[in-house]
């Protein structure tokens, strides 16, 4: 108010100046300054553990004023954010990296959580609430029924609910912390359209992603964080993939997608015939319907498809987590997989889609999480061998470049991408024969992705068969020897690496959904 | 300063520090508080609740809770004394039968909770009534005595100025602590309590981990009940009345999370000590004895509060 002219036309919509923050002696951010111009979509890029989420939590008041050094300015006005509530009052909308929906409530209640009525009042007017939610979802082009309970939604739908929740408050600054990590291509494009439209209506966005293509598609400017400091700043005109990646990881990456050197053997290790998974709530509907495929030793099979195509359900059923029909053969012998225990006994492994929900034990440190799937290997006469356990975990810490002070760091203290690497280490530890990987590189930075790809090639070289689900199409096309495309629970196309292309994939994935029209 | 900060970072610190403070305060108020006799009396007093608390620690870390422990302890004592006295069974058989009843009660609790999905709070509250009722049905409400001589001698013996029951407690606590922290089975207990789904994906039979912990708790209740019986020299139907509250209070004071996945037997041991120190301390300072009960309540809530605070300061 001191300088009205200035606040009418501020230089920056947002400035975080000289921010430093430590956790129990470990420095996460030191002297970071980020400036974002009004109506810009500003990307925040950096390796796992670089400090992106920490910076955003400061901006959202999760880490309140006083627990960090530095200052925050909104439209050139210094603000003091003591809590997420303060941030909301200041017009900051935050979509955190970890999805935090309330499962027992409906979509509408989640979107307007805490503000269920427009004009206060004790009794919630549900009719009105559902209409408001429907309108909001409609403007975002999200096809979800606001009356549906969130517990029935999958990860990407939950993410959309979180985004809708942030937008419902009509923020002037929107923070998207890896919001696209579990969205499909279509949903991501849709989100970009919405954000672009709102940019025209004075919305400033901070956008965190590990996908370079998204950075090029949408960002107006970018700040690169590295080890808690600003490594570089770019305007859109100067964007250059090599420079950005180099600033981010401190080296250049050759062969981002490694080329397969080992040959796939002819021996079949796994086969499924007519896998059918009934819908959990609706009778006479199947989420997976007659899916059959076989895997050879050392083969990487990609499963592609849009949301609701039954990809995750397929691998979860094969791992014994969902009731299913169909025949499963491991090493040529027919086997029953009625629960995860039996699946594991047959040498199957599963990396689940949502690390927070069913990926990690947050009451444990890295070490205990890594060894959980094969306790006999780290014990003698049922007594755990701590030294051996530490050594095993330390091996993965190094191999997957997990950024943590030691293997005894609680996983709760790790950045999202580093948690993901721990989940990967966990499923690799028992040396499975067949490994189902549901979005294995979700939230992992480019450098580490490259490492993980090499690792996967290495595993395939050792004869382990991999089934990979990924919403990142280039990743899927580059890694998989063979791809099956699912739509509405059925296989609609199957092709080898040589025949693979984005067009063919998209055609199958979307065309398959209404193939009954063309037939 | 640095030392203090390190101390604060140890999980059991939230309870060890107040324990030290209380002990010092009571010692200053009345020097006789730390005399050997008085210490021995304190240790003996926490024996029976302590034995059960070891089992309850395992169970609560696995994500369950058992409110029936006091009643089950009473039932086991009555069943074994009834078999020995009225039915003339040999001592060993009587004790084994008592233990079996404890296991069975735990098994039933576990099956009802895990297989039928009835909340542990309700299922074991039901068992609390059922066991107490069976107890009175069996003995008609009258104490059963005398119990056989070997048992009587066992209960009277005073090794090291303590009791065999206390020796049993220390042994069980030691084994319980080691097994929980260092064995595969203990790790499975933490994993199950931490996140059942993650544990299941890891191939752990979470149902049996939980049922096993209920059975362990039932068995510990049986042991405690029968040891008290031997010490009293009578199968008293009131054995174990109200124990469940002391057991749960000490486990919670010791840092076990009600949501499972967190805690240690050492923590529980410190929890038991703090409750006993405050109780005995208030006695030696001559305060009205009913203040003890008030104090236990206050301490339990404070302990949980301090623990929350400790966790929060560690995070940010
Ligand atoms: N609660 C915490 N306690 C201790 N250390 C923490 C805590 N939260 C974050 N850190 C540490 O701070 C650093 C920055 O973490 P942050 O979550 O900001 O990374 P990020 O850039 O968002 O990474 P990602 O891409 O993996 O999400 C990491 O080294 C992390 O281990
Ligand atoms: Mg992050």
Q: What is the DSSP string of B235-294?
A: B-TTTTTTHHHHHHHHHHHTT--TTSS---HHHHHHHHHHHHHHHHHHHHTT--THHHHH
Choosing among 3.30.300.180, 3.40.50.300, 3.40.50.10300, 3.20.20.70, the CATH entry for A12-100+172-249 is 3.40.50.300
- Does residue A141 register a pLDDT over 90? no
CATH number belonging to domain A263-347+432-519: 3.40.50.300
Average pLDDT on A19-41 reads 93
3-state secondary structure A187-222: HHHHHHHHHHHHHCCCCEEEEECCCHHHHHHHCCEE
Residue that wins the pLDDT comparison between A254 and A54: A54
Q: Which residue has the higher pLDDT, B2 or B297?
A: B297
> pLDDT tens-digit profile of A246-284?
999 888 788 889 988 888 889 999 999 999 999 988 888
The least confident of A66-75, A470-479, B96-105 is A470-479
Task: Calculate how close chain A gets to B187, using CA atoms only, in Å.
Answer: 8
Buried b or exposed e, range A428-456, using 16+ CB within 10 angstroms: bbbebbbbbbbbbbbbbbbbbbbbbbebb
Contact of B277 with B19, CB cutoff 8 Å: yes
Q: What is the mean pLDDT of residues B250-271?
A: 92
Is pLDDT of B2 > 90?
no
Mutation pick from B202, B207, B257 vs chain A, by most beta carbons of A within 10 Å, is: B202
Q: In sequence order, what are the beta bridge partners of A71?
A: A17
> How do the domains of chain A map onto residue ranges?
12-100+172-249, 102-152, 263-347+432-519, 359-431
Quote the pLDDT of residue B310: 67
Q: Model confidence over A302-322: pLDDT tens digits?
A: 998 877 789 999 999 999 999
CB atoms within 10 A of CB A197: 12
Q: Which of A370-374, A392-396, A505-509 has the lowest mean pLDDT?
A: A505-509
Give the lowest-confidence range in A72-76, A242-246, A410-414, B14-18: B14-18
* Residue appearing with tokens 């080691």: B178
Per-residue pLDDT, averaged over A450-476, amounts to 92
Distances (CA, A) of A198 to A167, A291, B39: 10, 42, 72
Q: How far is the CA of B217 from the centre of ligand 1 (A)?
A: 40
- ipTM of the complex model: 0.91
- Confidence class for position B313, pLDDT limits 50, 70, 90: low
State the Cα–Cα distance between residues B83 and A283, nearest whole angstrom.
55
Per-residue pLDDT band at A519 (split at 50, 70, 90): very low
Write the CA distances from A272 to A482, B200, B299, integer angstroms: 16, 23, 59
Distance CA A299, CA A479 (A): 10
Across the interface, whether the CB atoms of A358 and B201 are under 8 A apart is answered yes
| pLDDT exceeds cutoff 60 at B316 | no
Token output for A360: 């990690």
Do residues A479 and A300 touch, judged by C-beta distance below 8 A? yes
| Cα–Cα dist A505/A511, whole Å | 10
Mean pLDDT for A2-21 is 74
Nearest to B203 among A24, A368, A373 (CB): A373
Residue A178 has pLDDT above 50, yes or no: yes
pLDDT value, residue A6: 46
User: Considering every ligand atom, which ligand is closest to the CA of A45?
Assistant: 1
B192-199: average pLDDT: 97
Residue-level pLDDT at A515:
43
Q: Are A208 and A11 in contact (CB under 8 A)?
A: no
H or E element at residue B303 = helix B290-315
Topology match between the domains A12-100+172-249 and A263-347+432-519: yes
pLDDT averaged over chain A? 91
* C-alpha dist (Å) from residue B200 to A373, A434, B130, B181: 10, 18, 32, 20
**Mean pLDDT within A289-295:** 96
Q: Which of A515-519, B31-35, B79-83 has the highest mean pLDDT?
A: B79-83
Torsion angle defined by CA atoms of residues A197, A199, A202 and A207, in that order, rounded to the nearest 10 degrees: 140
Distance CA A277, CA A486 (A): 14
Best A363, A364, A388, A427 member to test B by mutation, with max B CBs in 10 Å, is A363
CA B249, chain centre distance (Å):
9
Mean pLDDT value across residues A109-132: 85
| Average pLDDT of the residues in B82-91 | 94
User: What per-residue confidence (pLDDT) applies to A8?
Assistant: 54
Question: Ligand 1 center to residue A78 CA distance, Å?
Answer: 26
Q: Indicate the pLDDT class of residue B48, thresholds 50, 70 and 90.
A: very high
pLDDT for A227: 92
User: From CA B62, how far away is CA B64, in angstroms rounded?
Assistant: 6
If pLDDT is split at 50, 70 and 90, which confidence band does A297 have? Answer: very high
pTM of the model: 0.90
Displacement of CA B33 from its chain's centroid (Å): 24
Structure-block tokens of residue A333: 């012998």
Tally the C-alpha atoms within 13 A of residue B148's C-alpha that lie toward its C-beta. 19
A3 falls in which pLDDT band (50, 70, 90)? very low
Is the separation of the CB atoms in A107 and A161 below 8 Å?
yes
Would you state the pLDDT for residue B7? Answer: 67
pLDDT, average across residues B238-259: 92
Q: Give dist(CA A275, CA B44) in Å, integer.
A: 62
Chain B environment of A438 (Cβ under 8 Å): none
Find the closest chain B residue to A64 by CA distance: B316
In this prediction, residues A471-476 reach a mean pLDDT of 88
Beta bridge partners of B88: none
Contact list, A384 vs chain B (CB under 8 Å): 182-184, 187
Residue A177 C-alpha to ligand 2 middle, in angstroms? 7
B282-289 mean pLDDT: 83
Residue nearest to atom 2 of ligand 1 (CA): A413
Gap between the Cα atoms of A255 and B40, Å rounded? 72
Who has greater pLDDT, A309 or A296? A296
Hey, which of A181-185, A189-193, B286-290 has the most confident mean pLDDT? A189-193
Tell which residue, A411, A447, A452, has the closest CA to residue A46: A447
Least confident segment among A405-419, B9-23, B132-146: B9-23
Query: Is A413–B315 a contact, with Cβ atoms under 8 angstroms apart?
Result: yes
Strands A333-335 and A229-235: unpaired
Kindly tell me if the per-residue pLDDT of A239 is higher than 80. yes
A156 falls in which pLDDT band (50, 70, 90)?
confident
Is a pLDDT exceeding 60 seen at residue A98?
yes
Interface of chain A against chain B, CB under 8 Å?
Answer: 23-24, 63, 67, 319, 321, 339-341, 343-345, 350, 352, 357-364, 368, 372-373, 375-376, 379, 382-384, 386, 412-413
Q: Which of A499, A496, A492, A494 is nearest to A484 (CA)?
A: A494
Cα dihedral A319→A325→A331→A333 (10° resolution): 130
Structure tokens at B56: 């309850």
Tokens of A412: 């709760």
Which one is predicted more confidently, A115 or A463?
A463
The answer, for B195 touching chain A at a CB cutoff of 8 Å, is yes
Rg (CA), chain A: 24
Count of alpha carbons within 13 Å of A80, Cβ hemisphere only?
A: 4
Chain B segment 247-306 residues within 8 A of A by beta carbon are: 261-262
């Amino acid at each position: 108010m001191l300088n009205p002219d200035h606040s009418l036309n501020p230089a920056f919509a947002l400035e975080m100046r000289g921010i430093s923050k430590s956790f129990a002696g470990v420095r996460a951010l030191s002297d970071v300054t980020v400036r974002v111009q009004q109506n810009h979509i500003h990307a925040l890029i950096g390796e796992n553990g670089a400090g992106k989420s920490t910076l955003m939590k400061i901006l959202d008041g999760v880490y309140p004023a006083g627990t960090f050094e530095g200052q925050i300015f909104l439209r050139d006005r210094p603000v003091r954010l003591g809590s997420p509530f303060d941030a909301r009052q200041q017009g900051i909308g935050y979509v955190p990296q970890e999805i935090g929906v309330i499962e027992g409530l409906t979509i509408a209640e989640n979107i307007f959580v805490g503000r269920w009525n427009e004009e206060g009042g004790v009794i919630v007017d549900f009719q009105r609430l559902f209409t408001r939610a429907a309108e909001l979802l409609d403007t975002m082009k999200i096809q979800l029924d606001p009356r549906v309970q969130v517990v029935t939604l999958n990860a990407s739908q939950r993410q959309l609910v979180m985004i809708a929740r942030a937008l419902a408050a009509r923020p002037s600054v929107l923070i998207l912390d890896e919001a696209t990590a579990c969205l499909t291509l279509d949903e991501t494009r849709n989100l970009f359209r919405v954000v672009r439209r709102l940019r025209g209506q004075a919305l400033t966005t901070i956008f965190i992603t590990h996908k370079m293509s998204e950075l090029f598609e949408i960002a107006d400017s970018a700040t690169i964080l590295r080890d808690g400091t600003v490594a570089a700043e770019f305007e859109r005109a100067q964007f250059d993939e090599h420079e950005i990646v180099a600033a981010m990881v401190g080296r250049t990456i050759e062969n981002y997608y490694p080329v397969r050197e080992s040959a796939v053997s002819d021996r079949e290790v796994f086969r499924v015939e007519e896998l059918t998974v009934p819908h959990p709530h609706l009778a006479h509907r199947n989420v997976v319907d007659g899916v059959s495929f076989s895997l050879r030793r050392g083969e990487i099979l990609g499963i592609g498809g849009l949301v609701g195509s039954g990809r995750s359900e397929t691998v979860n059923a094969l791992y014994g987590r969902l009731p299913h029909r169909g025949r499963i053969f491991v090493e040529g012998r027919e086997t029953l997989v009625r629960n995860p225990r039996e699946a594991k006994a047959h040498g199957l492994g599963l990396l689940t889609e949502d690390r927070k929900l069913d990926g990690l034990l947050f009451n444990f440190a890295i070490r205990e999480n890594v060894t959980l799937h094969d306790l006999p290997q780290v014990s003698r006469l049922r007594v755990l061998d701590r030294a051996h356990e530490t050594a095993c975990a330390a091996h993965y810490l190094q191999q997957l470049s997990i950024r943590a002070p030691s293997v005894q760091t609680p996983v709760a203290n790790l950045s999202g991408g580093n948690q993901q690497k721990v989940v990967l280490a966990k499923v690799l530890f028992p040396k499975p024969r067949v490994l189902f990987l549901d979005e294995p590189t979700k939230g992992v930075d480019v450098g580490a992705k490259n490492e993980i790809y090499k690792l996967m090639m290495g595993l395939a070289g050792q004869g382990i068969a991999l089934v990979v689900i990924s919403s990142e199409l280039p990743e899927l096309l580059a890694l998989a020897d063979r791809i099956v495309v699912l739509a509405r629970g059925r296989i609609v196309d199957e092709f080898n690496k040589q025949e693979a292309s984005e067009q063919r994939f998209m055609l199958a994935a979307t065309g398959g959904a209404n193939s009954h029209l063309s037939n | 300063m640095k030392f203090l900060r390190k101390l604060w970072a140890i999980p059991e610190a939230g309870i060890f520090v107040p324990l030290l403070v209380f002990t010092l305060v009571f010692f200053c108020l009345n020097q006789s508080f730390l005399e050997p006799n008085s210490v021995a009396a304190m240790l003996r007093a926490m024996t029976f609740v302590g034995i059960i608390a070891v089992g309850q620690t395992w169970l609560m870390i696995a994500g369950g809770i058992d409110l029936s422990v006091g009643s089950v302890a009473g039932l086991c004592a009555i069943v074994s004394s009834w078999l020995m006295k009225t039915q003339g069974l040999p001592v060993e058989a009587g004790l084994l039968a008592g233990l079996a009843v404890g296991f069975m009660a735990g098994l039933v609790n576990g099956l009802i909770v895990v297989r039928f999905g009835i909340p542990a709070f309700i299922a074991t509250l039901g068992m609390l009534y059922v066991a107490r009722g069976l107890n009175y049905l069996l003995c008609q409400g009258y104490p059963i005595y005398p119990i056989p001589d070997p048992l009587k001698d066992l209960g009277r013996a005073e090794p090291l100025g303590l009791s065999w029951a206390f020796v049993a407690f220390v042994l069980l606590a030691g084994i319980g602590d080691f097994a929980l922290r260092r064995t595969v089975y203990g790790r499975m207990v933490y994993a199950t309590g931490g996140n059942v789904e993650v544990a299941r994906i890891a191939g752990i039979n979470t149902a049996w981990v939980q049922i096993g912990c209920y059975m362990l708790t039932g068995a510990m209740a049986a042991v405690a009940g029968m040891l008290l019986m031997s010490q009293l020299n009578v199968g008293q139907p009131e054995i174990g009345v109200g124990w469940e509250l002391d057991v749960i209070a000490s486990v919670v004071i010791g840092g076990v999370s009600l949501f499972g996945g967190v805690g240690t037997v050492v923590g529980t041991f410190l929890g038991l000590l703090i409750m006993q120190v405050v109780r005995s301390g208030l006695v030696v300072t001559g305060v009205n004895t009913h203040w003890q009960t008030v104090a236990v309540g206050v301490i339990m809530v404070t302990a949980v509060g301090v623990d929350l605070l400790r966790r929060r300061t560690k995070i940010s």
